[in-house]
Structure 1
Amino acid sequence: MIGVDTKKEIAKRIQQLCAEHDYNINGLARAAGVPPSTLKNIIHDGSKNPGIVTIKHLCDGLGISLYDFFNTDDFKNSEPESE
């Protein structure tokens, strides 16, 4: 399972990217082909493990790569998480 800090960073990154690409949650969900409820659960901490396939779909909807998604100082500087 992904740790709380990583989940928060993923949610924060999705929100940053939505703002940069002028998407709201429903617009990104539609562009990515994922249910809006899935995206809302990731952002509002309802998802225990936002899967990499879902994140890839979001990246596709945004027109970016997984590398671009995770290529931030927050992810680069994150500490290893223990279970």
Structure 2
Amino acid sequence: MPSVIFSGDRIVDLCRGRDITPNALSYRAGVPQSTIKSILNDESQNPGIVTIKKLCDGLNISLSDFFNTDDFRNLEQEVK
């Protein structure tokens, strides 16, 4: 598992599953294209929850659906 907390792979997968482009998601979610580009290029490795919520709204999914993947379930706890 990479040390990156957040990866754009999840967004790409969700866009493909809905047959939309990241640019279309930008419009639907009200998130600047530059923000999505930064996430997809791993320049923004830990976007804020407000941004993720907007992306979820644009994808018509809940936050829990977004994070319901093995990648997120298997993250090591940062604070012990």
TM, length-normalised to structure 2: 0.87
Partner of 2:37: 40
More helix by proportion, 1 or 2? 1
Partner of 1:24: 21
The alpha carbon displacement at 1:48 in A equals 4.7
Amino acid in structure 2 at the alignment position of 1:71: N
Aligned residue-pair number: 78
TM, length-normalised to structure 1: 0.84
Question: Could you list the runs of 4 or more consecutive aligned residues of structure 1 that deviate by over 4 angstroms after TM superposition?
Answer: none
| Structure 1: gaps spanning 5 or more residues | none
Partner of 2:70: 73
Determine if contact 2:30/2:54 at 8 Å carries over to the other structure.
yes
Identity of aligned residues (%): 56
The alpha carbon displacement at 1:47 in A equals 1.5
Q: Please provide the CA RMSD for this pair.
A: 1.7
